[in-house]
Chain A
Amino acid sequence: MTRWASPDLVAAAIAGDAAAKDGLVAEIWPACFRLAASLIGDRALAQDAAQEACVIIYRKISHLRSTDAFDAWVYRIVARESARVRRRFRSAETSAYESGFTSDSTASVDVWRALLALSPRLRDVAVLFYVDDLKTEEIARILGIAHATVRTRLARARDRLRSILGDYAIEPQATVKEVKEHVC
C-alpha cells in the first residue's frame, strides 16, 4: 500500500493506462494540494505548485520503475515545485504572508500561524516530520539535503515552535518518533 494511492492504480499508470493516469492524479490531488499548502502557506500559490506537480507526475509516471518508489517520488516533486513557486514569488512584500486558510478551529489557526512563522527551510522539515510522519532520512532524500542538516533544522524548528506554542506538546511526539527511528 502506498501512502498516496493504491498500488494497483499506480502500477496501471506506470504501465501507461491513460484512464489509470487520470484516476491516479484525481486520487492524489487533495493530498498534493494540502501538502503544497502546508509548505507554502498560500492557497493560490499552492494550487499552482500542486498543478505543476500533477502535470509532471502525469507526464513522467511511466518512467517510474516500481510502485515502491512512488511515495518518495511524489513527495520530491511536490516539495520541489512548492519551493520553486515560493522562490518565484519571493519579494520584500511576501515574507510574512497570511495563509488564507479557512478553519473553524482556533487550534488549527494557531498551528498554521506557528508553521508560517518558521522560515521556509525549517517549515519544510517540520511539516514533513510532524504532519507527514516521515523519518528524518526520508526527509533528507526528499529535500536533497544531508541527514545531519535535517536533524539540525528539525531541532531549530522545534525550538521555534515551542517558543510560539508553549503549551502544545511538541517534544514527546518528536522524541517517540526519533527513538523509533534509532531503534529501526
Chain B
Amino acid sequence: MSADFSTMAKKARAQISVPPLDIAAIRERAATFGARERLRRIVLALAALLGVIGGAVAYAALGGGVHVWFAGNNVKVTVQSLAQIREPTAADVRDITAKAAFPIVFPVAVPRGMRVWWIAYDPADSPRLLTIEYRSATGGSRMSVTLIDEAKIRSDQSLLPGGPLQALTSKIGRHWQIGRELVLVQGRELSPASATRMRSAMQRSTPAASESAFDATLRRIVVLQKVEPRVADAAERIASAGRNVIIGDWDIRQLPRIAARGKPLRDSRLVYLTSIPQRRGQPIYRDATMYWPKAIAIPASGVRVIETTLRKANVGANCGCAILVHRSGNAYTVWKIETAPPYEAQKLSSP
C-alpha cells in the first residue's frame, strides 16, 4: 500500500461525518457568558466600593479552601480547593451530610422538573459550603443554590475587602437564613413566587426532613459520562431497586479494552480540585490540580459480562444508545436504551 500520508490524512479527515450545529445554543451561551462577564466587572467595582464604605454591613467567611464575603446584595467567593460530584445519588448525599460541619437544610419545594446536576462542596473532608446546581430535563433551565455555614461567616472579619482577598464576585440573587445556614439562590427562570415557596418550605423543614425531600431531585441510578438527562430519566423509569449504572457511548467504547485488561469501570463522577489558581481575581478551574478517587462503578467481573453481552448483541459505541446495567449480587441485567425519542429500551440479557 503506497500512498502519500498527507493526502491520505486529508482524505481521512474529509470522511469524518460532522454532527449538526446547534447555532441557537451557541448564540445563547455566548450571550450568557458575555452578560456574566459584564456583571462580574460591574459588581467587582461595586464590591470594592462597598469594601471602603460598607464595612459595617459586611461579613467574611473562611471555611477550609473557600472564602466568602458578602455585603448588601453582593457576594464574593474565592475557592482554593473543592470537591464536586456530578449527578449524585442519595448515597452520595448521605456521605456529604455525614461529613458536613453544620446541620444542612437542603433546598425543598424547588420548581417542578428541576433535578440536581452537580454538587460542589468545600472543604472536602468537612463541608462548610455547598453549591447545588439544578437543571431541567432539557438542560435549558438552570438554578443554583448555595448553602453556607453562617456561624463560620460571622466569626471571621479578617478577610474583608481591603485585605488580601481577591475574589470572584457575583450578585447573590435571592437569599435567606435558616438557623445557622445562609441560603443563596440564583436562577434566571426562578420566579419570585417560586423563591418564596422555597424559602417558606425550607424554614418549616428540618435537616432530616429536607434530606428526605431532597432525594426526589437526585438520581436513583449512577450516571457515568456523557448521558443526556432525558436518556437517564428513561433509564430511571425501568431501573429496578438495587445498584444501577448507566453508561454512554464514551464508556461503551472503552469496555472491550477494559475487559481485556481485567480492569473495573471507574466511577469518575467525583473529582477533587486543589490548588485552584486565580487570575485577576477569578478562579481558573481548568488549571487546577484534579484528582479522581478510584471509585468503582462496575467491577471487573461485571465489565466482562457486559462486554460479552454487547458483543453478542452487536452493540457498539456507534449504536446511538446508552447501556443500563443492574447488578444484584454477581448477576447483571443489561438494557439498551435509544438516545433519541421515544428512548425505547430493550433488555439484552437477564441473570
- Main SS of the interface on chain A? helix
Looking at the assembled complex, report how far the CB atom of A96 sits from the nearest CB atom of chain B, in whole angstroms: 7
**CA–CA, A93 and B13, complex, Å:** 25
Residue B307, interface by CB 8 Å: no
Cβ-defined partner of B16 (8 Å) among A55, A92, A101, A133: A101
Is the Cβ of B30 less than 8 Å from the Cβ of A59? yes
Which residues 19-49 in A have Cβ within 8 Å of B in the complex? 22, 25-26, 29-30, 33-34, 37-38, 42-45, 47
**CA–CA, A81 and B12, complex, Å:** 22
Residue A148, interface by CB 8 Å: no
Contact with B along A101-134 (1 / 0, CB 8 A): 1111101101110010000000000010011010
Is the Cβ of B1 less than 8 Å from the Cβ of A168? yes
Is the Cβ of B263 less than 8 Å from the Cβ of A93? yes
Given the known A-B contacts A51-B26, A84-B286, are A107 and B317 also in contact in the complex, defined by CB atoms under 8 Å? no
Residue A54, interface by CB 8 Å: yes
**Interface-facing stretch out of B2-10, B60-68, B86-94:** B2-10
**CA–CA, A29 and B318, complex, Å:** 21
Residues on A with C-beta less than 8 A from B149 are: none
**CA–CA, A167 and B29, complex, Å:** 47
Interface core residue of A44, A88, A110, A167 (most chain B CB under 10 Å): A44
**CA–CA, A87 and B29, complex, Å:** 22
**CA–CA, A59 and B16, complex, Å:** 27
Given the known A-B contacts A26-B21, A29-B21, A59-B34, are A34 and B16 also in contact in the complex, defined by CB atoms under 8 Å? yes
Residues on A with C-beta less than 8 A from B226 are: 44
Residue B159, interface by CB 8 Å: no
Is the Cβ of B266 less than 8 Å from the Cβ of A47? no
Is the Cβ of B5 less than 8 Å from the Cβ of A111? yes
Q: Using a Cβ–Cβ cut-off of 8 Å, how many residues does chain B contribute to the interface with A? A: 46
Residues on B with C-beta less than 8 A from A115 are: 9
Residues on B with C-beta less than 8 A from A169 are: 2-5
Which residue of chain A has the shortest Cβ distance to B294 in the bound complex?
Answer: A92
Given the known A-B contacts A88-B286, A91-B292, A96-B257, are A25 and B4 also in contact in the complex, defined by CB atoms under 8 Å? no
Residues on A with C-beta less than 8 A from B258 are: 93
**CA–CA, A94 and B226, complex, Å:** 14
Which residue of chain B has the shortest Cβ distance to A54 in the bound complex?
Answer: B26
**CA–CA, A84 and B287, complex, Å:** 9
Residues on A with C-beta less than 8 A from B250 are: 42, 44-45
Given the known A-B contacts A111-B5, A169-B2, are A102 and B17 also in contact in the complex, defined by CB atoms under 8 Å? yes
Residue A98, interface by CB 8 Å: yes
Residue A144, interface by CB 8 Å: no
Residues on A with C-beta less than 8 A from B254 are: 93-94, 97
- Main SS of the interface on chain B? helix
Which residues 11-61 in B have Cβ within 8 Å of A in the complex? 11-19, 21-23, 25-27, 29-30, 33-34
Contact with B along A46-74 (1 / 0, CB 8 A): 01000100110011000000000000000
Is the Cβ of B4 less than 8 Å from the Cβ of A173? yes
**CA–CA, A150 and B159, complex, Å:** 46
**CA–CA, A161 and B25, complex, Å:** 39
Residue B268, interface by CB 8 Å: yes
**CA–CA, A98 and B249, complex, Å:** 12
Given the known A-B contacts A93-B258, A105-B11, are A29 and B18 also in contact in the complex, defined by CB atoms under 8 Å? yes
Looking at the assembled complex, report how far the CB atom of B158 sits from the nearest CB atom of chain A, in whole angstroms: 35
**CA–CA, A110 and B17, complex, Å:** 17
Residue B253, interface by CB 8 Å: yes
Looking at the assembled complex, report how far the CB atom of A6 sits from the nearest CB atom of chain B, in whole angstroms: 18
Residue A145, interface by CB 8 Å: no
Residue A100, interface by CB 8 Å: yes
Given the known A-B contacts A107-B1, A168-B2, A173-B4, are A55 and B9 also in contact in the complex, defined by CB atoms under 8 Å? no
Residue A170, interface by CB 8 Å: yes
Which residues 202-224 in B have Cβ within 8 Å of A in the complex? none
Is the Cβ of A168 less than 8 Å from the Cβ of B12? no
Is the Cβ of B18 less than 8 Å from the Cβ of A34? yes
Contact with B along A130-156 (1 / 0, CB 8 A): 110100000000000000000000000
Is the Cβ of A168 less than 8 Å from the Cβ of B5? yes
10 contacts between A and B (CB under 8 A): A43-B19, A51-B22, A54-B26, A58-B30, A59-B34, A98-B317, A101-B15, A101-B16, A167-B1, A173-B7
Other A-B pairs, 8, CB within 8 Å; known A102-B17, A168-B4 = A55-B33, A84-B286, A94-B254, A100-B253, A101-B12, A107-B12, A111-B12, A170-B6
The 10 A-B pairs of least Cβ separation, nearest first, read: A108-B12, A59-B30, A58-B30, A168-B5, A29-B21, A111-B12, A30-B18, A170-B5, A130-B6, A173-B6
